[in-house]
Amino acid sequence: MEKLRRNLTFMVIMFSSMVTAQERITLEDGSRLSVYMVKPAESLSEPAPLVILMGGGPGNASISRDTSIWLGGGFAERGWMVAVPVSPNNRAFRGDENNQKVEQLILELQKREEIASGKVLLAGISNGGMSALEIARRNPGNYMGVAAVPALATSVVDNRVLSGFPVYLRIGGADQLGWADRFDETAEALTEAGVDLDAAILDSAPHMFRMNWESLESWLEKVLEH
């Protein structure tokens, strides 16, 4: 756990120059959702593609803020508009009610001129990665793909709706929670469902790891083309 905290601290410091703004956004159901927004590092001549990025654990304000800085900052450097929502009930964005809040958030954000319409990228860490997969299964046609770094999946859930859907999955080989032991199960469940899967174990990496942007960026370019 101490190593995990040191890694997170390093990542936060590394992207501390990024500008992160917290907003309270009113959703269609009348509720208000706290969201950390990270704008693209450079001014763009056209609306930026949107990524909804969800933090791990309970997805609370502290976790979401840190996620917006180190991982959100990496997306913003590459021209993405980043939204990191704070879970309204400390359950990440798992479950039907929380899934719907992300869907409503996207509708509100895409009313803004600086955010591109059309498909959105879903990304998440740990519980956030599994939230992203849940949301994608509801209506995969609304999304470019899912970057789950990490996440788990099983054949108990019907993943066939994600047939042909792009998923980028990475799990640390030294994951403290034992997720590396479930990598094969997860990859098999998604592959058997026909998911367009880019999956790998990262040697000696912990549960939360420094992103290999060269690898992820190559995948992002592909999903933006489709």
Structure tokens at 105: 């958030």
Distance, CA of 167 to CA of 66 (rounded, Å): 23
pLDDT-based confidence at 3, cuts 50/70/90?
very low
Domain segments of the chain as ranges: 2-225
- pTM for the predicted model, two decimal places: 0.91
**What single-letter DSSP state applies at residue 78?**
T
pLDDT in tens, 151-189: 999 999 999 999 999 999 999 999 999 999 999 999 999
Give the pLDDT of residue 8.
Answer: 46
Residue 111 has pLDDT above 60, yes or no: yes
pLDDT at 6 over 60: no
Architecture of the structural domain at 2-225:
3-Layer(aba) Sandwich (3.40)
What dihedral angle (degrees, nearest 10) is formed by the CA atoms of 208, 212, 218, 222? 0
pLDDT on residue 226 = 79
* Closest listed residue to residue 79, CA positions, set 107, 98, 51: 51
CA distance 83 to 36: 6
The two beta strands, 32-38 and 20-26, are antiparallel
Measured in residues, the chain has a length of 226
- pLDDT for residue 20: 73
pLDDT score for 19: 59
